[in-house]
Amino acid sequence: MTKTDDEQAFDKKLYKKNLRALQIELVKLQHHLIKHNDKILIIFEGRDAAGKDGTIKRIVEHLSPRETRTVALGTPSDRDRGCWYFQRYTAYLPAASEMVLFNRSWYNRAGVERVMGFCTDKEYHEFLETVPSFENMLIRSGIILLKYYLDISKDEQKKRLDERERDPLKQWKISPIDKSAQKYWHDYSHARNIMFAKTHHINAPWTIVSADDKAVARINIIKNMLSRLDYADKNETLILPDNDIVFFYSKPCLKNGMIAA
């Protein structure tokens, strides 16, 4: 059923009201992490056009840029390719009192690099075997690590990619990889499922986000983040996420429709 203009306006007003309240909670969180020298690392993964950029933008919008960094690395250089795989990422890890948000991460190797043939079979399998140990090492060093995967349907991805093509303000988002996203949909699904099975571990579990509705996804990601992180004066009733929107990965989710096939 199509919403009326009044209903859409109400939804937008309610979204903005909820977002502002949650952004106030994020400022509280930042005060706490600065005071206690916490180190927070948040990874955002997902298919092309899943909503990673918009989610990160809303999270950092009112936070201090001195203690908040967004990392979105480009294509690796020849030197990067000759280094230990994780080496190019370690320079961007959070120091004390910092929150770092990765817009894609080392999990490129389990997704686009695997599907598009940008790494060898040996490099791919070595990554899957070693990444849990790498992440556990980060956690033992005091880094708080959260991993989110934004999940969208094939139809929704096509709609968003088509919108990018038409919107002159989003031309920078279009890449050759985007153009192949629909063609290799099932290959990406297969690679994603293996990634979950191999890299979902107790210290750094995958959190899945149903992201066909961008606004709902953003609100619930922020709620989930805040509910899992310690900070003073937390508004417990405000930060309860919808568990049908944000939930920990489990194998049955691949078969019961909670994760797009």
pLDDT score for 24: 98
pLDDT score for 32: 98
CATH number at residue 215: 3.40.50.300
CA distance 195 to 251: 12
Q: Say if 83 falls within a structural domain.
A: yes
User: Looking at 6-10, 223-227, 255-259, which range is the least confident one?
Assistant: 6-10
Look at the chain and report how many structural domains it folds into: 1
Q: Say if 212 falls within a structural domain.
A: yes
pLDDT score for 89: 98
165-216: per-residue pLDDT in tens? Answer: 999 988 888 888 888 999 999 999 999 999 999 999 999 999 999 999 999 9
Q: Which long-range contacts link 56-63 to residues 24+ away (Cβ below 8 Å)?
A: 56/101, 56/103, 58/19, 58/23, 58/218, 58/222, 59/26, 59/101, 59/221, 59/222, 59/225, 60/101, 61/23, 62/23, 62/26, 62/27, 63/26, 63/27, 63/30, 63/99
84: tokens are: 């230990």
pLDDT surpassing 80 at residue 3: no
CA distance 259 to 93: 29
CA distance 147 to 127: 17
Q: Say if 260 falls within a structural domain.
A: no
Q: Say if 155 falls within a structural domain.
A: yes
Report the DSSP pairing between strands 39-46 and 68-71. Answer: unpaired
5-49: per-residue pLDDT in tens? Answer: 666 776 999 999 999 999 999 999 999 999 999 999 999 999 999
What are the backbone dihedrals phi and psi of residue 203, each rounded to the nearest 5 degrees, phi first?
-80, -25
Span 59-84, mean pLDDT?
97
How is residue 153 annotated by DSSP? -
Q: Residue 237's pLDDT band (boundaries 50, 70, 90)?
A: very high
pLDDT score for 176: 83
Span 209-233, mean pLDDT?
98
Residue in this structure with the two tokens 């939804």, named with its chain if needed: 11
Q: Say if 261 falls within a structural domain.
A: no
Q: Which helix (H) or strand (E) holds 144?
A: strand 143-151
Q: Say if 259 falls within a structural domain.
A: no
Q: Say if 182 falls within a structural domain.
A: yes
Q: Say if 244 falls within a structural domain.
A: yes
pLDDT score for 172: 84
Q: Which helix (H) or strand (E) holds 69?
A: strand 68-71
Give me the domain span that covers residue 49: 5-254
pLDDT score for 1: 56
Span 132-140, mean pLDDT?
98
Kindly report the number of other CB atoms within 10 A of residue 173's CB atom. 16
What are the backbone dihedrals phi and psi of residue 152, each rounded to the nearest 5 degrees, phi first?
-130, 160
